[in-house]
Amino acid sequence: MGIFLAFPVLMIAAVIQAVLLPQTPLIGGGPNLVFLLVMAWSLNAPLPEAIFWAIVGGISSDLLSAVPLGTSALGLALLVFLVNILLNQFYGLGLLLLGLAGLFGTFAFEFYRLAALDAFQLFGYIPADAPFNITWGNDIANVIAPVMVYNVVSILPVYGLLRLLQRRLPRIE
């Protein structure tokens, strides 16, 4: 059931991310909603379902972005694998893991996306007439750091909402 829910939830989140959040006066642009939803869902979902969420969320984000399709999906999927491994290693540390995902996961994901963008420019995957000038120090301070703060603050409420939703969904064994 969670698989079907992925489409509307993540598509709407991606659109809100691309359309609404840039218009709000938040310093640094606001939280990464798709990232938060995928991470929060993966904490209590089977791995294949969490991977599916990562791919749908990533593709939705990429469709509204200049990066090639699959870029965000790859980053989110790798993070979901990592969370799954850690959950099995450290059982009972779910919420702590959530906080860590909000902080370090955000950093890793956003850093990966900027690095991918840089690499794609190098390989000519992004049209030369729309260049992105990535200055790492500046981008980490002004782009990644604010998103980390917003994600850490937002991940617990997002997790709470999704947990309520997950409990109401019919369980398919």
Residues that bind another protein (CB under 8 A): 11-12, 14-16, 18-20, 23-25, 44, 46-48, 51, 54-55, 58-60, 62-64, 68-71, 73-74, 77, 81, 84-85, 87-88, 91, 120, 123, 125-126
Spatial separation of the C-alpha atoms in residues 45 and 47, rounded to whole Å: 6
- Cβ at position 31, least distance to another protein in Å: 16
- Cβ at position 138, least distance to another protein in Å: 26
Is the separation of the CB atoms in 168 and 127 below 8 Å?
A: no
Q: Which amino acid is at 46?
A: P
Spatial separation of the C-alpha atoms in residues 66 and 61, rounded to whole Å: 10
Q: Output 111 or 120, the one with its CB closest to another protein.
A: 120
- Cβ at position 26, least distance to another protein in Å: 10
Phi, psi of 21 (to 5 degrees): -60, -40
Q: Output 12 or 141, the one with its CB closest to another protein.
A: 12
- Provide the residue count of the chain: 173
- Cβ at position 85, least distance to another protein in Å: 8
Q: Output 48 or 170, the one with its CB closest to another protein.
A: 48
Q: Output 118 or 140, the one with its CB closest to another protein.
A: 118
Is the separation of the CB atoms in 5 and 164 below 8 Å?
A: no
Cα-Cα-Cα-Cα torsion 136, 29, 120, 115, nearest 10 degrees, comes to: 40
- Cβ at position 151, least distance to another protein in Å: 21
